[in-house]
Amino acid sequence: MDSTTALFANAIVAGLLLGGFYAAMSVGVSISFGMLDVVNIAHPAFILLGSYIAYTMNDRLGLDPIAVSVVLSPLFFVLGAGLYRVYYLCFEQRGQESLRGLAFFFGILFITEVMLVLVFGVDYRMSKTAYADTTWRLDALDFPMRLVVPFLVSMLMVVGLQLFLSHTFFGRAVLAVAQDPLALRLMGVNPIRVKERAFALSIATAGVAGAFLIVIQPVQPAIGREYIGLVFAVCVLGGMGSIWGTLLGAFVLGLAESFTSTFFGPSWAPAVSFGLLLATLAFRPAGLLGR
């Protein structure tokens, strides 16, 4: 392999691995925002919370961050269910979800961030894992383990969610609930319970994505905000309410960022991502795989 080809091939590998990570961060928003019409802009805050819990367990007890996050995901599920209850009682039930609901989640985002600053400070934290410094080499291709492990777990999680949502009665109810809650009641389904559980599921994915984040890069409390744009961009690009779309959108953005960083420099990467988003909105507003 000559050096240009190697550079090109490595950009593809890095882009796909990055895309897998983006999919894990965005799949929760794809559920809450894309399927439930709950504009949870606090999603990155829960990702960060997941990062710090994984970090604490890793730092104090030497446990693997990703394993910890998977084991503790029921905790995030319960947290999500509680949060949706509050949101429902205070805003959705009264038909005030649009603006006040948005302000509510904005508040949650900042409160979580300030809480993390108070507890952990503003320094960057990093986890220590056995595989973080290992890189597989296949010919000229690099497979850094700190990206490969999150990628694999992310694929399991995203594909598992897609199968769950498309093959179960509950999953179909999740797809239907924002379209017509009353019609869902007429099928004998309680739409509030469906939304509560689906939202809880979305927060559970945030906890796991948080562990990926701290395995991949150092974390400090304010970086959650940097990802708000990214996760919503992935969802819109892929198509609202489609998990396959979110996966595709994540790969497209991952590849775009990887190529831009490789050939034009990292500072251009966000411009290309959001350029892609604008182009999608202009030419295919339903997203790549939107219904």
Partner 1 sequence: MANSIRIDGLCAGYGSVQVLERISLSVNDGETVALLGTNGNGKSTLMKCVMGIVPPGAGRIEAVIDGVPYDLVGRATEEIVGLGIALVPEGRRLFPRLSVEENLQLGAYRRAARAALARNLAFCFEAFPKLIERRKQLAGSLSGGEQQMLTLARALMTAPKILLIDEPSVGLSPLLVIHTIDKIRELKQRYGLTVLMAEQNFNQAIRIADRGYVIVHGRIEFEGRSRDDLSNNELVHKLYMGL
The binding site for partner 1 (CB under 8 A) comprises: 169, 172-173, 175-176, 179-180, 182-190, 241, 291
* Cβ 34 to partner 1 shortest distance, Å: 11
Retrieve residue 227's tokens: 């990802």
CB nearer to partner 1: pick between 11 and 194: 194
* Cβ 170 to partner 1 shortest distance, Å: 9
* Cβ 131 to partner 1 shortest distance, Å: 41
Give every CB contact of residue 104 below 8 A, 6+ residues apart in sequence. 87, 90, 91
* Cβ 198 to partner 1 shortest distance, Å: 15
Assign 3-class secondary structure to 173-224.
HHHHHCCCHHHHHCCCCCHHHHHHHHHHHHHHHHHHHHHHHHHHCCECHHHH
CB nearer to partner 1: pick between 100 and 291: 291
CB nearer to partner 1: pick between 128 and 167: 167
Q: How far apart are CA 97 and CA 71, in angstroms?
A: 32
Q: How far apart are CA 211 and CA 55, in angstroms?
A: 8
Give every CB contact of residue 229 below 8 A, 6+ residues apart in sequence. 270, 274
* Cβ 88 to partner 1 shortest distance, Å: 15
Beta-ladder partners of 53:
none
* Cβ 117 to partner 1 shortest distance, Å: 41
CB nearer to partner 1: pick between 109 and 175: 175
Task: Give the C-alpha distances (Å, rounded to integers) separating 104 from 26, 40, 165, 270.
Answer: 20, 9, 27, 27
Q: Which residue has the tokens 């991952």?
A: 254
Q: Which residue has the tokens 């039930």?
A: 93
* Cβ 212 to partner 1 shortest distance, Å: 31
Nearest 5°: CA angle at 106, between 206 and 67? Answer: 15
CB nearer to partner 1: pick between 48 and 189: 189
Q: How far apart are CA 34 and CA 41, in angstroms?
A: 12
* Cβ 167 to partner 1 shortest distance, Å: 10
CB nearer to partner 1: pick between 62 and 188: 188
CB nearer to partner 1: pick between 221 and 241: 241
CB nearer to partner 1: pick between 154 and 242: 242
Answer yes or no: are the C-beta atoms of 66 and 233 closer than 8 Å: no
SS3 at position 241: coil
